[in-house]
Structure formats: structure tokens, C-alpha cells
């Protein structure tokens, strides 16, 4: 039975653990799918390439208010799709070839197949080519096996040719109609992509608003704007689904009563789940939380000594920048076991690349209220700063929460153009302890540029006259 110093399960962020410092280690790398993980192949990278294309396709709709008449003549879907995956697929393949055949990886054994725990620090791997399963052991194991889309239990859904975020970007042709189940960020981003490319989009969500995990003000504004772009059905659930030729027929229950919705493509975007259930983690004694995430401590150690975890399989944040941070923590702790470092999850930012864009870091107002914190809040509209005025943007805004005495920033939320970029100064300020007063007046703000949105929001905060000592 082969034994290794370390086995890494998953080649997303886990693959980045290995560098020249591991040259003397006997390493195994296990991957059951494409090298590169979710982000490279079916997540952040391809989706944002589609989003940028959608943003460009949407410019004619925004240009008229500026006195510029444009038309969108045609969308070459296959050219768009093939351009995007023509860049991504070779990266995944070259990563695989590098680990298997390059001299840098002479100490690395790559297993292409599905791994499950079969004993204490023991994995049994079934090769993807159908070969004989092989069992391996290791002193240490890193579980970085990611997650997958959730498919709800809907009567008849399993018989439909539905899509998830893993498959919808490789459609052969654009449909006339698409129905998206879900009201989260995946649903919001794909609704933007396909509607901008000319598809009639219907969004069906069980909740009363879209992006309900966002600050309530952000969620309400986004939902309001979404209704102008898509057919949005809130407080609505699918109770039955059936296929009739090329058409999917969904039976809905909602405020309109019972009704039937027909669609050409059904996209299920109802969340993601960790892959712990596919690894039989109980066989090696690993504990999971509600929802299936592996239990880890601040050092990314699981409940079994010598087994570590990172990314979507253990983290509640399904974010690549979180997985990359945790990867660096695990990498250090493997190399320097007597000098452990902890993950820093204090200020985890996120963004939604829809239309409008959204970004946030820190507490929502509802979370601050639930914690019974003393806070003040300020909002600043895009339309009231010079560049937002130039853009004729009447819907975007920034919202900031802070402690009224110290000026400590508690949360920041932006809805509007370039929100994922504009949020970065808030992330930096919160990470390094910069208070609202110092942030607003301790530096220059380029005029007239969009960061004045941040400056003005900070200046509007009704902070106490004298900072607390």
C-alpha cells in the first residue's frame, strides 16, 4: 500500500500548496475532474468572462440617456463560448500535464479518479478510466475537494434536461426563454448574462426578495431594479416539472396561485453544498457541521490530527479569495508545524457581478441590529458625486456603518457600477484598523472620480464630536 508524507485531495486552491519547499516530500495529488477546481473551470473565471461580455452587450440600453443611439445587432454565442473556454480549457490541461510530467514534480504522484476515505488517514481511489481501485495512506492529508450545486427535491425535476452553473455556460445555442430557479448571487449573475445576450429570463425564488443575504437596503434596491429587466416571481415555488419535447413545463405555486410556466432552458441555481458526503469522511473520523462543512479550527485543522481542510468543503464562504487565503495558511502550517498561523476571517468581502454590481464587507445593518451594537449609518448616492452625475446613474449608492464614538468601520455596502473595485478601500481600512475620520480626511480623493462616493459616505456618518479615548 503506497504511503505518502502528504496527500492533497482536490486541485483547486489545494494545488497551489505545492512549491519548491515541498521538493523533499513524497506527495500524492488526487483529482476526479478538471484540474483547477471550481473557480477556473465552472466558477469565477468563466462566469466573469461571460459577465464582461454581457456588460458590453448591454451598453446600447444605457447609451440612449446620454444622447448616444446604439443597437445590438447580433450575438455570436458560439464565438463567445468558444473564445472563453478556448482560453480556460488549455490552462486546466496544462496544469494537469505539469503535475504529471514536469521534472519539478518528480516527487508528486497524481491520481486521476474519485477518492473516498476507507480508514484512518486512508483513501481508496477509483481511477477515472475504470481501472482497479487503489488504497493509499499518508502522514498528513489536505482535504480541498470543494463543493457542487444543490439540486432541490422537486417532483419530476430529475427527468428534465436541466442545467446548473457547472453546465449552462457550454450550451450549444442560446435559447429564446430561460427560467432560473433561485434568488442568490449565481441566479443574479446568470440572469444578467443571458438577458443581456437577448434571452427572455424568468427568475423564480421562494423568498420575498433577491440576494436576501445582502444588506436589506441593497437587496430591496436590487430586487426593484431586477423587476425591470426580468420576469421575477417571488414567494414562488416549483411543485412539479415535466418535459414536453424541447420544452420544460414547470408547475408553480405563488401569489398568483397555481400556474404553468414553459421554458426552453431550466437553470437550477439554488445554492451550493460541500462535497463531504461524497468522500465518506466519517470513515476517518472527521466531523461535519450542519450543512456538511468539515469542522476546522483557526489553523485549518480538522477534528483528526494530521488532516487539514480548506476552501468550500470547510468554509461557509464559497469564495476563491477565501480558499486562497486558507491555502496559504495550510501551506505554512504543513511546513512549520511549530509556528502555526491562523486564518483571518474577520473582514471577508464579496461581490455580485450582476447588473447593477454589488460589493460588501463587514456587517449588514440587520446583523448589527441583531447583535445589539451601537452604530450609525450613512448612505451616498452615485447621482450626488461628480462622476456618478456624469454617468447619469440614479440608482446606485454606498452604505456605511460605523461605531459612533471611535469611528471604527463595521460594514460597507455598494450597489452600482464598479462596486467590486470601489469596495477595496473599505476592505483595506477595516483590515488595518483605519477609522472613518482618518480614512475620510487623512488622504486625497481624486476629483472627479467615483471613489468620492466613499469619501462622501464617510463624511456623512453622524459620529460623535470627540473620538472615544
The domain that holds 227 is classified in CATH as: 3.50.50.60
Residue 17 belongs to a domain: yes
Tell which of 269, 289, 305 closes a domain.
269
Question: Residues 331, 332, 336, 339: what is their CA dihedral angle, to the nearest 10 degrees?
Answer: -140
Same domain for 315 and 401: no
**Same-domain pairing of 303 and 397:** no
Which domain range does residue 235 map to? 152-269
Residue 9 and residue 116 in one domain: yes
97 is in an annotated binding site: no
Indicate whether 173 and 102 sit together in one domain.
Answer: no
Residue 48 annotated as binding site: yes
Domain count, the chain: 3
- Local confidence pLDDT in tens for the 469 residues of the chain: 999 999 999 999 999 999 999 999 999 999 999 999 999 999 999 999 999 999 999 999 999 999 999 999 999 999 999 999 999 999 999 999 999 999 999 999 999 999 999 999 999 999 999 999 999 999 999 999 999 999 999 999 999 999 999 999 999 999 999 999 999 999 999 999 999 999 999 999 999 999 999 999 999 999 999 999 999 999 999 999 999 999 999 999 999 999 999 999 999 999 999 999 999 999 999 999 999 999 999 999 999 999 999 999 999 999 999 999 999 999 999 999 999 999 999 999 999 999 999 999 999 999 999 999 999 999 999 999 999 999 999 999 999 999 999 999 999 999 999 999 999 999 999 999 999 999 999 999 999 999 999 999 999 999 997 554 3
164 and 125 together in one domain: no
Is 343 contained in some domain? no
121 shares its domain with 24: yes
Task: For residues 426 and 411, give the distance between their C-alpha atoms in angstroms, rounded to a whole number.
Answer: 8
Query: Does 18 map to a domain?
Result: yes
320 is in an annotated binding site: no
Cell triple for 175: 435559447
Q: For residues 306 and 364, state if they share a domain.
A: no
Tell whether residue 372 is among the known ligand binding residues: no
Residues 135 and 164 in one domain: no
Question: How many other β-carbons are positioned within 10 Å of the β-carbon of residue 29?
Answer: 26
Residue 188 is labelled as binding a ligand: yes
Q: pTM for the full model?
A: 0.96
Picking from 220, 248, 269, the residue at the C-terminal end of a domain is: 269
Q: Is 186 annotated as a binding residue?
A: yes
Question: Based on the domain organization, do 143 and 166 belong to the same domain?
Answer: no
Both 142 and 278 in one domain: the answer is: yes
64 located within any domain: no
Q: Which residues are part of the catalytic machinery?
A: 447
In three-state secondary structure terms, 20 is helix
147 is in an annotated binding site: no
Cis check: omega of the bond before 411, within 30 degrees of 0: no
Of 227, 254, 269, the last residue of a domain is: 269
Query: Is 283 part of a structural domain of the chain?
Result: yes
Establish if 70 belongs to a structural domain: no
- Whether residue 119 is contained in a domain is answered as yes
* Calpha distance 397→454 (Å, rounded): 10
Tell whether 175 and 258 lie within a shared domain: yes
What CA–CA distance (Å, rounded) separates 72 from 79?
16
Residue 345 lies in a domain: no
Q: What is the CATH number of the domain that holds 447?
A: 3.30.390.30
Query: Whats the size of the chain, residue-wise?
Result: 469
If asked whether residues 379 and 439 sit together in one domain, one would say yes
Amino acid at each position: 500500500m503506497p504511503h505518502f508524507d502528504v496527500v492533497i485531495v482536490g486541485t483547486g486552491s489545494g494545488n497551489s500548496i505545492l512549491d519548491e519547499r515541498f521538493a523533499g516530500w513524497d506527495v500524492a495529488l488526487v483529482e476526479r475532474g478538471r484540474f483547477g477546481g471550481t473557480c477556473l473551470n465552472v466558477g469565477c473565471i468563466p462566469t466573469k468572462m461571460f459577465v464582461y461580455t454581457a456588460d458590453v452587450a448591454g451598453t446600447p440600453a444605457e447609451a440612449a440617456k446620454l444622447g448616444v443611439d446604439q443597437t445590438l445587432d447580433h450575438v455570436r454565442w458560439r464565438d463567445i463560448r468558444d473564445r472563453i473556454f478556448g482560453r480556460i480549457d488549455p490552462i486546466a490541461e496544462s496544469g494537469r500535464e505539469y503535475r504529471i510530467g514536469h521534472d519539478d514534480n518528480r516527487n508528486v504522484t497524481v491520481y486521476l479518479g474519485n477518492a473516498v476515505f476507507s480508514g484512518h488517514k486512508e483513501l481508496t481511489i477509483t481511477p477515472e478510466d475504470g481501472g482497479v481501485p487503489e488504497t493509499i495512506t499518508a502522514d498528513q492529508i489536505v482535504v480541498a475537494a470543494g463543493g457542487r450545486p444543490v439540486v432541490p427535491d422537486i417532483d419530476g425535476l430529475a427527468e428534465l434536461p436541466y442545467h446548473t452553473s457547472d453546465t449552462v455556460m457550454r450550451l450549444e445555442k442560446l435559447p429564446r426563454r430561460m427560467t432560473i430557479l433561485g434568488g442568490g448571487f449565481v441566479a443574479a449573475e446568470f440572469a444578467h448574462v443571458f438577458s443581456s445576450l437577448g434571452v427572455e429570463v424568468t427568475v423564480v425564488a421562494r423568498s420575498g426578495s433577491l440576494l436576501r443575504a445582502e444588506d436589506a437596503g441593497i437587496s430591496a434596491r436590487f430586487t426593484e431594479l431586477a423587476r425591470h429587466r426580468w420576469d421575477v416571481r417571488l414567494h414562488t415555488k416549483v411543485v412539479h416539472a415535466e418535459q414536453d419535447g424541447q420544452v420544460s413545463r414547470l408547475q408553480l405555486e405563488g401569489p398568483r396561485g397555481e400556474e404553468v410556466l414553459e421554458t426552453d432552458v431550466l437553470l437550477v441555481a439554488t445554492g451550493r453544498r460541500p462535497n463531504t458526503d461524497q468522500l465518506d469522511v466519517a470513515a476517518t473520523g472527521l466531523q461535519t457541521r450542519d450543512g456538511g462543512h468539515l469542522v476546522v479550527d483557526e489553523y485549518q485543522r480538522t477534528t483528526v490530527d494530521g488532516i487539514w481542510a480548506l476552501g468550500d468543503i470547510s468554509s461557509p464562504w464559497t469564495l476563491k479569495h477565501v480558499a486562497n487565503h486558507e491555502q496559504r495558511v495550510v501551506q505554512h502550517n504543513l511546513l512549520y508545524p511549530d509556528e502555526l498561523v491562523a486564518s483571518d476571517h474577520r473582514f471577508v468581502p464579496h461581490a455580485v457581478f450582476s447588473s447593477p454590481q454589488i460589493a460588501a464587507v463587514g456587517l449588514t445593518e440587520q446583523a448589527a441590529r441583531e447583535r445589539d451594537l451601537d452604530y450609525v449609518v450613512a448612505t451616498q448616492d452615485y447621482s450626488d458625486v461628480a462622476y456618478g452625475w456624469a454617468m447619469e446613474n440614479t440608482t446606485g449608492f454606498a452604505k456605511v456603518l460605523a461605531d459612533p464614538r471611535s469611528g471604527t468601520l463595521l460594514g460597507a455596502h455598494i450597489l452600482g457600477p464598479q462596486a467590486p473595485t470601489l469596495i477595496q478601500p473599505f476592505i483595506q481600512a477595516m483590515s488595518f484598523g483605519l477609522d472613518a475620520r482618518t480614512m475620510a480626511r487623512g488622504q486625497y480623493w481624486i476629483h472627479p472620480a467615483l471613489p468620492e462616493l466613499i469619501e462622501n459616505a464617510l463624511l456623512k456618518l453622524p459620529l460623535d464630536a470627540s473620538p472615544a479615548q
